[in-house]
Structure 1
Amino acid sequence: MNSNERNFLAYLDEIDIITILLPLSYHQGLSSTFSITDESQKSRAIQIIQKQQIENNNKYICKLEEEISFGHPYWILDEHGGKTDLQIGAVIRTDIFDERFYYDGNDLGVSCRDNQTQFKIWAPTATQVKLKLRQPKNSFSEIIKMRREEKGVWSSVVNADLELYQYTFLVLVNQEWQESVDPYAVAVTANGEHGVIVKLEKTYREKPVLPPCENPVDAIIYETHIRDFTIHPNSGAEHKGLFLGAGEINTKGKDGQLTGLSYVKDLGITHIEFLPFNDFAGVDELDPHKEYNWGYNPIHFNVPEGSYATNPSDPYARIMELKQLIDSIHSQGIRVIMDVVYNHLYIRETSSFEKIVPGYYFRHNELGFPANGTGVGNDIASERKMVKKFILDSIRFWMEEYHIDGFRFDLMGILDSETMMDVRKTCDSIQQGTLIIGEGWNLNTPLPIEKKAIIRNQSKLPDIGQFNDKFRDCIKGNTFYLYDKGYVLGNEHYHDAAIETIAGSIGFVKKESGLFTNPSQSVNYVECHDNHTMWDKLVSCLPDLDHQFHIKYHRLATGLVLVSQGIPFLHSGQEFFRTKRGDGNSYKSPDHINQLDWDRKHQYIENVHYIKGMIQIRKQLTCFRLKSAEEIRAHIQILPLQNPLIGFCLQNQGNEFREVLLLINPLRSKQPIQIPEGKWRLLANDKKAGIYSNEFISSKELVLEPVCLTILAKK
């Protein structure tokens, strides 16, 4: 039966419930009996338990006496002699389906060894599955029928070494054939049109031992984009915009000073976070300079993006070159965080997930339509067993195969907290200290709020960091209102919120008002790839202000990121006042908007030295990276300064300084204050920062410079 010839429709919506829609134009939409038959032609009556009219159909809810056998076709017959195929409906989103077809094997996808190649795909609702093989050097195709096994897995074994063969799956569901790339593919052709069989053991290398990072608050994250990082004409990189370019060391700009990876090491960064580098849509891999994209359009989750490779048509090139990049970063003692986008697919209808098991991998609302909490047309249903399994398998793959050290979860609030904690356990089982951070925004997806991986549920996510939008908005001003001015711009209404967020957002002043349980859950930032850069916001908010004050405000905001309790997060180029020329959403803007401008680093080298000094201070003084809420309350006191000034006295442990003062003046005028007695070493003011200062202050009265962060320390 052709799906286009259906006179009426029938869906299996629960294990024992069938929904039948009879158009009013078909025998007036009326029938008093229905029966079900299979390939054996044996017919059984089904019981009508409810009937109602919906738009142009009569809807019949019917009950099965015997469950159907998945993987086989069935037909529904009516009393008029009409016949339609039984389609798989909402049953796939029931708990009983999830339990019955959960497959816990670790062999989905393809494995090629010892002159034998095995293929496995999970397609429980399919009635037929075929493997389509293409030889590497011509377009000749071979079709092989696959065998259905337990738990809805289909398999095929070919007694040959099929390295570099291309492959896809042909899947028959609801009488429609779909051709799909393997969701577990680890290599693909250019633009991801076909999976490719490779032997990853050929690319194996040992993971080096990296410097210890005992707690997430010891990390200093630097977010960048593979292409942005080196595409600038004066980046000094040979392989501009590519994996290999991002991994080049000792590159230099036109001033002869460090750029790229060696510059990041010199700055003092511990973790580089790259925007997505798994295979994504939006850039033609065969002509990558025509288009630009951040990479939040995931296609193949376990394949490196081809537009960053020297030869996207060579399946091994992107694998080897990404591994070389990661190895190069590790050689500098820096860890790699991968930005992962498990919350959605680029286009639901054309995704491998939807073609192979239609309707299973995505959330649907109460009306049966795809949910759209992500804003891109689909939400991944992470709470379903095989969706969670895919995410965990993927995380394990990136850690074990590519030696990834941490993950940043895009729109983590779409995912459920149980899955995120299973991610945490999976990472810990492979490498203790793996950094996991995510965007815990509460998005409108049909998942009970108590199950969402959001800031509100942080107590269920104790070892996962979350981007602290409260920190971001109170320090610089609301990110979605360009002209809103935050605490650093002198807005005294943010004074109390600033105290709270600088102290780790753990309920420092009022315990019950804490956003997080521990500071390691708070990712502190004022700028990231999203929205306007801090510099562009400042210039827009304060267009008539002297340029030096723009510098001061920016320096104060970035300085606060580095001395606040929690995990500091910097956007690449933030230290030299990165601008995107006012573009607040540059996800597909051209290189001249998105590139990291290495000439600007030379132009604002004084600020680079300042931020480098602030990083030194954070690394040397344990009081700026306390590990628990209890430590924060025990070691930090608020000084009695007049609003909007803020002063903290911090007890330091572990080096020559016993006591540290953090003093903040967001006003454009000098402010005299009283400080505790003692001989204080000046570590930072509005002009310089560093742990090795030789300037001392002994007076009880100190004048804070305008728009300034001051750090004093004494033995």
Structure 2
Amino acid sequence: MKYSKTLSIILFITMLKTAGVAQLVGPFDNYPVYTGKDLGVKYTPAKTVFKVWAPKASAVTLRLYDAGDGGGALSTINMVKGNKGVWKTVVDKDIKNKYYTFQVMQEGKRLLESPDIYAKAVGVNGKRGMVVDLASTNPKNWRNDKKPALKNFTDIIIYELHMRDISVDPNSGIQHKGKYLGLAETGTKSPDGEATGLDHIKELGVTHVHLLPCFDFNSVDETKPAAGQYNWGYDPLNYNVPEGSYSSDPYDGNVRIKEFKKMVQTLHQNGLRVILDVVYNHTSDIDHANFSQFAPGYFYRHNPDGSYSNATGCGNEVASEMPMARKFMIESVVYWAKEYHLDGFRFDLMGVHDIKTMNMISDTLHKIDPTIFVYGEGWTAGNSPMPEALRAVKKNVSKLHEQAVFSDDLRDGLKGGWGDLKEKGFVSGNTKMDESVKFGIVASIPNPQVNYDLVNYDKGPWASEPYETITYASCHDDNTLFDRLKISNPNAPEAELIKMDKLANAVVLTSQGISFLHSGAELLRTKQGVANSFNKPDSINQIDWSRKTKYKAVFAYYKGLIALRKNHPAFRMPFAKMINERLKFVNTGVPGLICYQISNHANGDKWKNILVILNGNKANQALKLPGGVWTIAADENTINEAGIKTVAAGNIDIASTSAYVLYSK
């Protein structure tokens, strides 16, 4: 029987009192809610307890195996149903490293054998769970693992990377290419002697590494490591298990856990915090998903006709508002935070999730560690039956508790709209983007000097505080920044494209909010014009480390901008009130020429006054300076906080397509 048929008969819409908004209510509302925190597999040498939530099952069978794939079951155990839809059994002996599956009988039909949704270790390709002694997977001195210090969220500078991209280039000098251990290697160099991998990231100076999905995903066959398979990993299989293809041995469920922890520990030791990209908004395959083997239909949203809703563009969307789905999401991130010492979570298509769930996630994480950073995409990929007023979309960010969303206003203001690759942005001379850039500079907060009527997307502020805005020019999605600029400026020589690229991230790194960089942007990364490269080969996706030598001056410029931001708290003010008091735009009278002054030792900065001048025009522009003596700390080529030169009040010539930073003491 198709569950959508059942739903089409009994699903209906009613009015809920919550927020006074219409919401979907369906047949799953009468499912029991289990509040215990012991679902899954709990191991001790004396016994292992198995508990799963399968509220409508007529029987649940546990099978134990010697291996993660192949071979017959060592034993078959019928589980016992208890309260609130929970089935339980206990094996009273040491079964460490044995593998297992559950199989549910429901409505006279046997569902698929699968791990439980809480599985913490699995065999190859994640088809069987593994009984794991987590303490034995800890690297040496794991208990003493110490996170790098973090005072304010606005101090964060994020570097988004893909586990395979960062190391798989033959010229990376990294031994464990495409692996967790590859990111944990130090002392690696390109053939030209330039630092690569972890040492490169450390040299660049960012504060946080954002890992594209590293939980166990569905699209890469872990039995074929030599096949060079590639995926970004936005197709979840086992949410609480590291992906096996990034480990040195995907067959042994312990190895991926040990190596992931070793990577986190090494990143922490090198001054970098670690963020995991999480994808709770959908699963890769409804029929085969673990969710569907224990409570078919429950974990997904449905349209009024009973069909699966699809706000993710992936064929389904997880119903985060359902109590057991909400419970799972909260307990999953808590597990990653505690067991793997993670420092943040980036939520894919966060706009699919309901506000209540996201706030419960944030509040729970911040009780564990108030410096854990939570952010995500404040949009969806399609329409959802859940009303927008209840979802964690960008316009509702002020209702969220200490969470941030990406500013597509600034992103597309800088380089041009995502829907029209030929459209130019501010850095390519489009003067119609000035207000969008100004909106980004003040981190999307209310500001009297921004003309919201001229902002590209949002016609009003959506952030209440600067830590709610991720300021960026590019990420893994769509074309790299350098490729995008080439597409929209097909006749521009490379030297001009480089100036545009540098200006774009100069804006990002001098703006308020939280800075975000796509890995390799500092090397003018190219994916050869391929935008959605989620399943393309390494030849498209890998970071080409020879570009660090070829574009050494660009790397030095990015590195200098990051140091400038870190050394000067005026660029990372923590409160909207402070920004509006200390940051004032100067009317240049020239379209495409943005100037603002940050005054009076803002946020405790050692520089009394800072002047930032952004020239998106293709021609040099003259600007009259405020009175006094000013020191140029950054121009189109150089970042030098000690001063490139000093200039007195009067006109200053600002080079085309460039950013200047000046200060007075």
- Smaller-chain TM-score bracket: over 0.9
Checking the alignment, whether the CA contact within 8 Å between 2:40 and 2:118 is kept in structure 1 is: yes
Matched, 1:546 2:493: yes
Q: How does 1:193-342 map to 2 (within 5 A)?
A: 193-204=127-138, 205-290=142-227, 291-342=229-280
Matched, 1:597 2:544: yes
Residue 692 (structure 1) shift: 2.8
Q: Select which of 444, 468, 471 maps to 2:410.
A: 471
Residue 627 (structure 1) shift: 1.1
Checking the alignment, whether the CA contact within 8 Å between 1:12 and 1:19 is kept in structure 2 is: yes
Checking the alignment, whether the CA contact within 8 Å between 1:131 and 1:144 is kept in structure 2 is: yes
Work out the CA distance in 2 between the residues paired with 1:480 and 1:570: 21
Residue 136 (structure 1) shift: 4.3
Q: How does 1:146-161 map to 2 (within 5 A)?
A: 146-161=79-94
Q: Select which of 584, 605, 614 maps to 1:637.
A: 584
**1:682 alignment partner, SS class:** strand
Matched, 1:678 2:608: no
Checking the alignment, whether the CA contact within 8 Å between 2:28 and 2:298 is kept in structure 1 is: no
Alpha-carbon RMSD? 2.0
**1:450 alignment partner, SS class:** helix
**1:299 alignment partner, SS class:** strand
**1:499 alignment partner, SS class:** helix
Work out the CA distance in 2 between the residues paired with 1:707 and 1:13: 57
Write the deviation string for residues 573-592 of structure 1: whole angstroms up to 9, x where unpaired. 00111000000110000001
Work out the CA distance in 1 between the residues paired with 2:91 and 2:617: 73
Q: Select which of 478, 490, 505 maps to 1:531.
A: 478
Write the deviation string for residues 198-222 of structure 1: whole angstroms up to 9, x where unpaired. 1001123215333321221100000
Work out the CA distance in 1 between the residues paired with 2:56 and 2:99: 25
Matched, 1:555 2:494: no
Residue 462 (structure 1) shift: 4.0
Residue 526 (structure 1) shift: 0.9
Instruction: Report the AA paired with residue 499 of structure 1.
Output: K
Residue 513 (structure 1) shift: 2.1
Work out the CA distance in 2 between the residues paired with 1:223 and 1:392: 24
Percent identity, please.
Answer: 38
- Match of residue 107 from structure 1: 38
- Match of residue 15 from structure 2: none
Write the deviation string for residues 97-125 of structure 1: whole angstroms up to 9, x where unpaired. 3xxx1111111111111321110000001
Checking the alignment, whether the CA contact within 8 Å between 2:120 and 2:241 is kept in structure 1 is: yes
**1:606 alignment partner, SS class:** helix
Bigger Rg over Cα: 1
Instruction: Report the AA paired with residue 502 of structure 1.
Output: I
Q: Select which of 392, 416, 420 maps to 1:481.
A: 420
Residue 669 (structure 1) shift: 1.1
Instruction: Report the AA paired with residue 296 of structure 2.
Output: P
Checking the alignment, whether the CA contact within 8 Å between 1:10 and 1:19 is kept in structure 2 is: no
Write the deviation string for residues 22-74 of structure 1: whole angstroms up to 9, x where unpaired. xxxxxxxxxxxxxxxxxxxxxxxxxxxxxxxxxxxxxxxxxxxxxxxxxxxxx
TM-score w.r.t. length of structure 1: 0.86
Checking the alignment, whether the CA contact within 8 Å between 2:184 and 2:263 is kept in structure 1 is: yes
**1:427 alignment partner, SS class:** helix
Q: How does 1:382-397 map to 2 (within 5 A)?
A: 382-397=320-335
Checking the alignment, whether the CA contact within 8 Å between 1:573 and 1:601 is kept in structure 2 is: no
**Gap runs ≥5 in structure 2:** 12-23, 453-458
Work out the CA distance in 2 between the residues paired with 1:388 and 1:671: 54
Residue 293 (structure 1) shift: 0.3
Checking the alignment, whether the CA contact within 8 Å between 2:80 and 2:87 is kept in structure 1 is: yes
- Match of residue 499 from structure 1: 438
Matched, 1:135 2:76: no
Q: Select which of 176, 185, 190 maps to 2:119.
A: 185
Instruction: Report the AA paired with residue 194 of structure 1.
Output: R
- Match of residue 455 from structure 2: none
Work out the CA distance in 1 between the residues paired with 2:10 and 2:464: 48
Work out the CA distance in 2 between the residues paired with 1:540 and 1:437: 30
Checking the alignment, whether the CA contact within 8 Å between 1:12 and 1:91 is kept in structure 2 is: no
Work out the CA distance in 2 between the residues paired with 1:621 and 1:199: 46
Checking the alignment, whether the CA contact within 8 Å between 1:616 and 1:690 is kept in structure 2 is: no
- Match of residue 370 from structure 2: 432
Q: Select which of 596, 614, 622 maps to 1:648.
A: 596
Work out the CA distance in 1 between the residues paired with 2:508 and 2:273: 20
- Match of residue 370 from structure 1: 308
Q: Select which of 290, 295, 302 maps to 1:357.
A: 295
Work out the CA distance in 1 between the residues paired with 2:65 and 2:239: 22
Residue 93 (structure 1) shift: 3.9
Count of matched residue pairs: 634
- Match of residue 338 from structure 2: 400
Write the deviation string for residues 461-490 of structure 1: whole angstroms up to 9, x where unpaired. 141010111111111111231111111111
Name which of structure 1's ranges 332-341 and 687-696 shifts more when overlaid on structure 2: 687-696
Work out the CA distance in 1 between the residues paired with 2:519 and 2:313: 26
Work out the CA distance in 2 between the residues paired with 1:603 and 1:227: 22
Instruction: Report the AA paired with residue 173 of structure 1.
Output: Q
Residue 418 (structure 1) shift: 0.6
Name which of structure 1's ranges 525-534 and 195-204 shifts more when overlaid on structure 2: 195-204
Residue 415 (structure 1) shift: 0.6
Work out the CA distance in 1 between the residues paired with 2:297 and 2:109: 14
Instruction: Report the AA paired with residue 270 of structure 2.
Output: Q
Q: Select which of 564, 568, 581 maps to 2:528.
A: 581
Checking the alignment, whether the CA contact within 8 Å between 1:472 and 1:479 is kept in structure 2 is: no
Work out the CA distance in 1 between the residues paired with 2:122 and 2:323: 26
**Gap runs ≥5 in structure 1:** 21-89
Checking the alignment, whether the CA contact within 8 Å between 1:462 and 1:521 is kept in structure 2 is: no
- Match of residue 61 from structure 1: none
Residue 448 (structure 1) shift: 1.4
Instruction: Report the AA paired with residue 35 of structure 2.
Output: D
Checking the alignment, whether the CA contact within 8 Å between 2:622 and 2:653 is kept in structure 1 is: yes
Checking the alignment, whether the CA contact within 8 Å between 1:285 and 1:307 is kept in structure 2 is: yes
Work out the CA distance in 2 between the residues paired with 1:93 and 1:306: 37
Q: Select which of 669, 675, 689 maps to 2:639.
A: 689
Matched, 1:662 2:612: yes
Checking the alignment, whether the CA contact within 8 Å between 1:536 and 1:581 is kept in structure 2 is: yes
Checking the alignment, whether the CA contact within 8 Å between 1:610 and 1:690 is kept in structure 2 is: no
TM-score w.r.t. length of structure 2: 0.92
Residue 132 (structure 1) shift: 1.0
Residue 677 (structure 1) shift: 1.7
Work out the CA distance in 1 between the residues paired with 2:367 and 2:401: 17
Instruction: Report the AA paired with residue 650 of structure 1.
Output: I
Write the deviation string for residues 150-175 of structure 1: whole angstroms up to 9, x where unpaired. 10000001111111111111101111
- Match of residue 164 from structure 1: 97
> Cα distance 1:207–1:529, how it changes in 2: closer, same or farther (>3 A)?
farther
Write the deviation string for residues 332-366 of structure 1: whole angstroms up to 9, x where unpaired. 01100000000000101110111211110000000
Write the deviation string for residues 392-435 of structure 1: whole angstroms up to 9, x where unpaired. 11001101100010000001011111100011011111111101
Write the deviation string for residues 544-602 of structure 1: whole angstroms up to 9, x where unpaired. 11211101000000111111111110000001110000001100000010001111111
**1:229 alignment partner, SS class:** coil
Residue 256 (structure 1) shift: 1.0
Work out the CA distance in 2 between the residues paired with 1:462 and 1:592: 41
Instruction: Report the AA paired with residue 149 of structure 1.
Output: G
Name which of structure 1's ranges 103-112 and 657-666 shifts more when overlaid on structure 2: 103-112
Checking the alignment, whether the CA contact within 8 Å between 1:207 and 1:403 is kept in structure 2 is: no
**2:475 alignment partner, SS class:** coil
Return the structure number with greater relative CO, CA threshold 8 A, min gap 6: 2
Residue 637 (structure 1) shift: 1.1
Checking the alignment, whether the CA contact within 8 Å between 1:373 and 1:414 is kept in structure 2 is: yes
Checking the alignment, whether the CA contact within 8 Å between 1:527 and 1:533 is kept in structure 2 is: yes
Instruction: Report the AA paired with residue 597 of structure 2.
Output: C
